[in-house]
Structure 1
Amino acid sequence: MSEETQVAAEVYTFAKPFTFEGQEVKEITLNFDDMSGNDIIACDRQYRAEQKGAMSFSPELDKVYQAYVVAKAAGVHVSLVLASKAKDFTSLTLRARNFLLL
Protein backbone atom coordinates (compact mmCIF):
# COMPACT_ATOMS: atom_id res chain seq x y z
CA MET A 1 0.00 0.00 0.00
CA SER A 2 1.43 3.35 -0.93
CA GLU A 3 1.92 6.15 1.56
CA GLU A 4 -0.93 8.11 -0.06
CA THR A 5 -3.53 5.36 0.31
CA GLN A 6 -2.79 4.38 3.88
CA VAL A 7 -5.69 4.76 6.27
CA ALA A 8 -5.12 7.24 9.07
CA ALA A 9 -5.99 6.15 12.57
CA GLU A 10 -6.75 8.59 15.35
CA VAL A 11 -5.30 8.15 18.82
CA TYR A 12 -7.89 9.32 21.34
CA THR A 13 -6.40 10.29 24.70
CA PHE A 14 -8.84 10.15 27.59
CA ALA A 15 -9.20 13.37 29.59
CA LYS A 16 -8.49 11.35 32.71
CA PRO A 17 -7.10 7.79 32.65
CA PHE A 18 -9.39 5.18 34.17
CA THR A 19 -9.13 1.57 35.25
CA PHE A 20 -10.89 -1.10 33.21
CA GLU A 21 -10.59 -4.76 34.16
CA GLY A 22 -7.53 -4.03 36.28
CA GLN A 23 -5.69 -2.10 33.53
CA GLU A 24 -5.17 1.64 33.36
CA VAL A 25 -6.57 3.02 30.11
CA LYS A 26 -5.02 6.25 28.87
CA GLU A 27 -5.85 6.12 25.17
CA ILE A 28 -7.36 4.07 22.38
CA THR A 29 -6.70 4.08 18.66
CA LEU A 30 -9.76 4.66 16.49
CA ASN A 31 -9.69 3.53 12.90
CA PHE A 32 -13.14 4.24 11.47
CA ASP A 33 -11.88 4.44 7.90
CA ASP A 34 -10.60 0.87 7.98
CA MET A 35 -14.00 -0.54 8.96
CA SER A 36 -15.92 -2.62 6.45
CA GLY A 37 -19.61 -3.10 5.82
CA ASN A 38 -19.31 -6.40 7.69
CA ASP A 39 -18.04 -4.50 10.73
CA ILE A 40 -21.07 -2.18 10.68
CA ILE A 41 -23.41 -5.18 10.32
CA ALA A 42 -21.68 -6.89 13.24
CA CYS A 43 -22.17 -3.75 15.36
CA ASP A 44 -25.84 -3.64 14.36
CA ARG A 45 -26.40 -7.31 15.20
CA GLN A 46 -24.73 -7.02 18.58
CA TYR A 47 -26.66 -3.83 19.35
CA ARG A 48 -29.99 -5.45 18.41
CA ALA A 49 -29.24 -8.62 20.37
CA GLU A 50 -28.34 -6.75 23.54
CA GLN A 51 -31.09 -4.09 23.40
CA LYS A 52 -33.93 -6.65 23.50
CA GLY A 53 -36.61 -4.50 21.92
CA ALA A 54 -35.49 -1.10 23.23
CA MET A 55 -33.94 -0.12 19.93
CA SER A 56 -33.97 3.19 18.15
CA PHE A 57 -35.48 3.64 14.69
CA SER A 58 -32.29 5.47 13.81
CA PRO A 59 -29.43 3.64 15.53
CA GLU A 60 -26.89 6.03 14.00
CA LEU A 61 -28.21 8.64 16.45
CA ASP A 62 -28.29 6.28 19.45
CA LYS A 63 -25.32 6.65 21.82
CA VAL A 64 -25.40 2.95 22.70
CA TYR A 65 -25.11 1.96 19.04
CA GLN A 66 -22.40 4.56 18.57
CA ALA A 67 -20.50 2.97 21.48
CA TYR A 68 -20.51 -0.35 19.58
CA VAL A 69 -19.09 1.39 16.51
CA VAL A 70 -16.39 3.09 18.60
CA ALA A 71 -15.48 -0.25 20.16
CA LYS A 72 -15.25 -1.93 16.75
CA ALA A 73 -13.14 0.93 15.35
CA ALA A 74 -10.80 0.67 18.36
CA GLY A 75 -10.69 -3.12 18.55
CA VAL A 76 -11.88 -3.13 22.17
CA HIS A 77 -14.92 -4.52 23.96
CA VAL A 78 -17.88 -2.17 24.13
CA SER A 79 -17.71 -2.38 27.94
CA LEU A 80 -14.52 -0.33 27.87
CA VAL A 81 -16.23 2.45 25.93
CA LEU A 82 -19.24 2.37 28.25
CA ALA A 83 -16.94 2.52 31.31
CA SER A 84 -15.24 5.71 30.17
CA LYS A 85 -16.04 8.99 31.89
CA ALA A 86 -19.03 10.94 30.53
CA LYS A 87 -16.92 13.62 28.84
CA ASP A 88 -14.84 11.03 26.99
CA PHE A 89 -17.87 8.85 26.21
CA THR A 90 -19.64 11.84 24.65
CA SER A 91 -16.58 12.80 22.64
CA LEU A 92 -16.09 9.25 21.37
CA THR A 93 -19.75 8.75 20.45
CA LEU A 94 -19.79 12.08 18.61
CA ARG A 95 -16.89 10.82 16.51
CA ALA A 96 -18.87 7.67 15.69
CA ARG A 97 -21.97 9.70 14.84
CA ASN A 98 -19.99 11.94 12.52
CA PHE A 99 -18.48 8.90 10.84
CA LEU A 100 -21.86 7.21 10.43
CA LEU A 101 -23.68 10.27 9.11
CA LEU A 102 -21.02 11.74 6.78
Structure 2
Amino acid sequence: MSEEIKNVNVEATEAGTEVNISKEKNGVYVHEFKKPFEYEGKKFETLNFYFDKLTGKDMIAIETEMQAMGEYALAPEISRGFQCRMAAKAGNIGADALESMPLPEFNKITNAARDFLISSGY
Protein backbone atom coordinates (compact mmCIF):
# COMPACT_ATOMS: atom_id res chain seq x y z
CA MET A 1 0.00 0.00 0.00
CA SER A 2 1.37 3.41 -0.92
CA GLU A 3 2.11 6.13 1.63
CA GLU A 4 -0.16 8.66 -0.05
CA ILE A 5 -3.24 9.92 1.75
CA LYS A 6 -6.46 8.68 0.27
CA ASN A 7 -9.82 10.34 0.86
CA VAL A 8 -12.92 8.30 1.40
CA ASN A 9 -16.16 10.24 1.31
CA VAL A 10 -19.32 8.70 2.66
CA GLU A 11 -22.67 10.40 2.32
CA ALA A 12 -25.70 9.32 4.27
CA THR A 13 -29.18 10.68 4.59
CA GLU A 14 -30.95 10.56 7.92
CA ALA A 15 -34.35 12.21 8.32
CA GLY A 16 -33.65 14.39 5.29
CA THR A 17 -30.27 15.59 6.60
CA GLU A 18 -27.17 14.89 4.55
CA VAL A 19 -24.03 13.99 6.46
CA ASN A 20 -20.61 14.11 4.80
CA ILE A 21 -17.78 12.28 6.55
CA SER A 22 -14.23 12.66 5.23
CA LYS A 23 -11.52 10.35 6.54
CA GLU A 24 -7.83 10.46 5.84
CA LYS A 25 -5.87 7.24 5.66
CA ASN A 26 -2.34 6.33 6.76
CA GLY A 27 -2.76 7.42 10.37
CA VAL A 28 -3.59 11.07 9.74
CA TYR A 29 -7.04 12.55 10.31
CA VAL A 30 -7.80 16.08 9.13
CA HIS A 31 -10.84 17.55 10.85
CA GLU A 32 -12.63 20.48 9.24
CA PHE A 33 -14.99 22.33 11.57
CA LYS A 34 -18.46 23.19 10.31
CA LYS A 35 -17.88 26.66 11.72
CA PRO A 36 -14.65 27.91 13.29
CA PHE A 37 -14.11 26.69 16.84
CA GLU A 38 -12.72 29.20 19.31
CA TYR A 39 -10.93 28.19 22.48
CA GLU A 40 -8.89 30.41 24.79
CA GLY A 41 -8.62 33.13 22.17
CA LYS A 42 -7.54 30.80 19.35
CA LYS A 43 -9.69 30.06 16.31
CA PHE A 44 -9.55 26.67 14.67
CA GLU A 45 -10.93 25.93 11.21
CA THR A 46 -9.09 22.64 10.76
CA LEU A 47 -7.03 20.38 12.99
CA ASN A 48 -4.61 17.65 11.96
CA PHE A 49 -4.35 14.52 14.07
CA TYR A 50 -1.19 12.47 13.48
CA PHE A 51 -2.20 9.17 15.07
CA ASP A 52 0.60 7.37 13.22
CA LYS A 53 3.20 9.33 15.21
CA LEU A 54 1.97 8.11 18.61
CA THR A 55 4.10 5.58 20.45
CA GLY A 56 3.60 2.94 23.11
CA LYS A 57 4.96 5.48 25.57
CA ASP A 58 2.07 7.79 24.64
CA MET A 59 -0.46 5.02 25.32
CA ILE A 60 1.05 4.38 28.74
CA ALA A 61 1.12 8.12 29.50
CA ILE A 62 -2.60 8.38 28.67
CA GLU A 63 -3.40 5.45 30.98
CA THR A 64 -1.25 6.95 33.77
CA GLU A 65 -2.91 10.36 33.38
CA MET A 66 -6.37 8.80 33.57
CA GLN A 67 -5.46 6.73 36.63
CA ALA A 68 -4.15 9.86 38.40
CA MET A 69 -7.60 11.38 37.88
CA GLY A 70 -9.38 8.25 39.13
CA GLU A 71 -10.49 7.22 35.62
CA TYR A 72 -9.84 3.85 34.05
CA ALA A 73 -10.12 2.63 30.47
CA LEU A 74 -10.57 -1.12 30.50
CA ALA A 75 -11.11 -1.03 26.74
CA PRO A 76 -9.55 2.08 25.12
CA GLU A 77 -11.35 1.40 21.84
CA ILE A 78 -14.69 2.13 23.57
CA SER A 79 -13.54 4.71 26.15
CA ARG A 80 -14.32 8.28 25.06
CA GLY A 81 -12.01 9.60 27.78
CA PHE A 82 -9.09 7.57 26.41
CA GLN A 83 -9.92 8.45 22.80
CA CYS A 84 -10.15 12.14 23.71
CA ARG A 85 -6.71 12.12 25.35
CA MET A 86 -5.27 10.10 22.49
CA ALA A 87 -6.62 12.56 19.91
CA ALA A 88 -5.31 15.47 21.99
CA LYS A 89 -1.80 13.97 21.89
CA ALA A 90 -2.09 13.27 18.15
CA GLY A 91 -3.34 16.81 17.48
CA ASN A 92 -0.94 18.53 19.87
CA ILE A 93 -3.75 20.26 21.74
CA GLY A 94 -5.09 19.91 25.25
CA ALA A 95 -7.80 17.39 26.09
CA ASP A 96 -9.69 20.30 27.68
CA ALA A 97 -9.92 21.97 24.26
CA LEU A 98 -11.40 18.80 22.75
CA GLU A 99 -13.85 18.46 25.62
CA SER A 100 -15.04 22.03 24.97
CA MET A 101 -15.94 21.35 21.32
CA PRO A 102 -19.51 20.97 20.15
CA LEU A 103 -20.60 17.34 20.52
CA PRO A 104 -20.73 16.51 16.77
CA GLU A 105 -17.13 17.76 16.34
CA PHE A 106 -15.96 15.93 19.48
CA ASN A 107 -17.62 12.71 18.30
CA LYS A 108 -16.01 12.84 14.84
CA ILE A 109 -12.56 13.37 16.30
CA THR A 110 -12.86 10.68 18.98
CA ASN A 111 -14.35 8.30 16.40
CA ALA A 112 -11.21 8.86 14.28
CA ALA A 113 -9.11 7.89 17.31
CA ARG A 114 -11.25 4.78 17.84
CA ASP A 115 -10.98 3.83 14.16
CA PHE A 116 -7.20 4.20 14.32
CA LEU A 117 -6.99 2.02 17.42
CA ILE A 118 -9.02 -0.71 15.76
CA SER A 119 -7.19 -0.50 12.42
CA SER A 120 -3.82 -0.72 14.18
CA GLY A 121 -4.76 -4.03 15.76
CA TYR A 122 -5.93 -2.99 19.19
Measured in 2, the distance between the counterparts of 1:87 and 1:24 equals 17
Per the TM alignment, residue 55 of structure 1 is displaced from its structure 2 partner at its CA by 2.6
Q: Match for 2:86 among 69, 92, 97?
A: 69
Residues 34-77 of structure 1 show CA distances to partners (whole Å, capped at 9, x for unaligned) of 11111111111112222x1x434223211111100000111111
Runs of at least 5 residues in structure 1 that lack an aligned partner in the other structure: none
The two structures have a TM-score, normalised by structure 2, of 0.70
Q: Which residue of 2 aligns with 1:20?
A: 39
Determine if the alignment matches structure 1 residue 90 to structure 2 residue 100: no
The two structures have a TM-score, normalised by structure 1, of 0.82
Q: Which residue of 1 aligns with 2:21?
A: none
Once structures 1 and 2 are overlaid, which stretch shifts more, 18-27 or 68-77? Answer: 18-27
Aligned in 2, Cα 1:8/1:97: closer, same or farther, shift over 3 Å?
closer
* Greater C-alpha radius of gyration: 2
Aligned in 2, Cα 1:45/1:24: closer, same or farther, shift over 3 Å?
same
RMSD: 2.1
Per the TM alignment, residue 4 of structure 1 is displaced from its structure 2 partner at its CA by 4.9
1:25-64 correspondence runs (5 A): 25-50=44-69, 52=70, 54-64=71-81
Per the TM alignment, residue 85 of structure 1 is displaced from its structure 2 partner at its CA by 0.8
Measured in 1, the distance between the counterparts of 2:55 and 2:113 equals 14
